[in-house]
Structure 1
Amino acid sequence: MWSINFVYRGCNVDIEIGERVTLWDITIEVTPLDGVELIEPFGARKLKLAKVEELDEIQAALVEEIQMAIDHRLVEPHRI
């Protein structure tokens, strides 16, 4: 099993990728840190992807998609 853990714009991101013969089992959890507010919470997401792409490509795509999702759900503080 592979794990990717990082913080992006005040959200802790944990991705776990398990391997089966023909599938990648993916679990994604995004947790906002104190003081960060999301328009809609993420909760845990589970995906099953066919093994048609290499692990490196899947990891890069997942990180990019999660970062875009956080950007769209992040509540920006009002600036005066």
Structure 2
Amino acid sequence: MIIADSLTLTLYKTLSNTNGLSGADQILYNPGKVARMADAFRFSEKSNPEKSKDKFGIGPIHFSYFGWGYENIVAIHSNT
């Protein structure tokens, strides 16, 4: 993670000098977005949710499963 962080900072600075700030943002952002979307679709296919509410819950689970963050998923039951 440290190597990736320093590489990103160096790459961002170099791309900013060459392509400007918005160009550097797009060059670094787009590949990450595509990779995250591919991971999310693959995770969705593996878990195969059938109901709409199950599909809604995949986001936090995917986020936690792939190590992007810690999610504490708690079931909430209504008494009404």
Q: TM (normalized to structure 1)?
A: 0.36
Higher RCO structure (Cα 8 Å, ≥6 apart): 1
Higher strand share: 1
Q: TM (normalized to structure 2)?
A: 0.36
Structure of greater Rg: 2
Higher helix share: 2
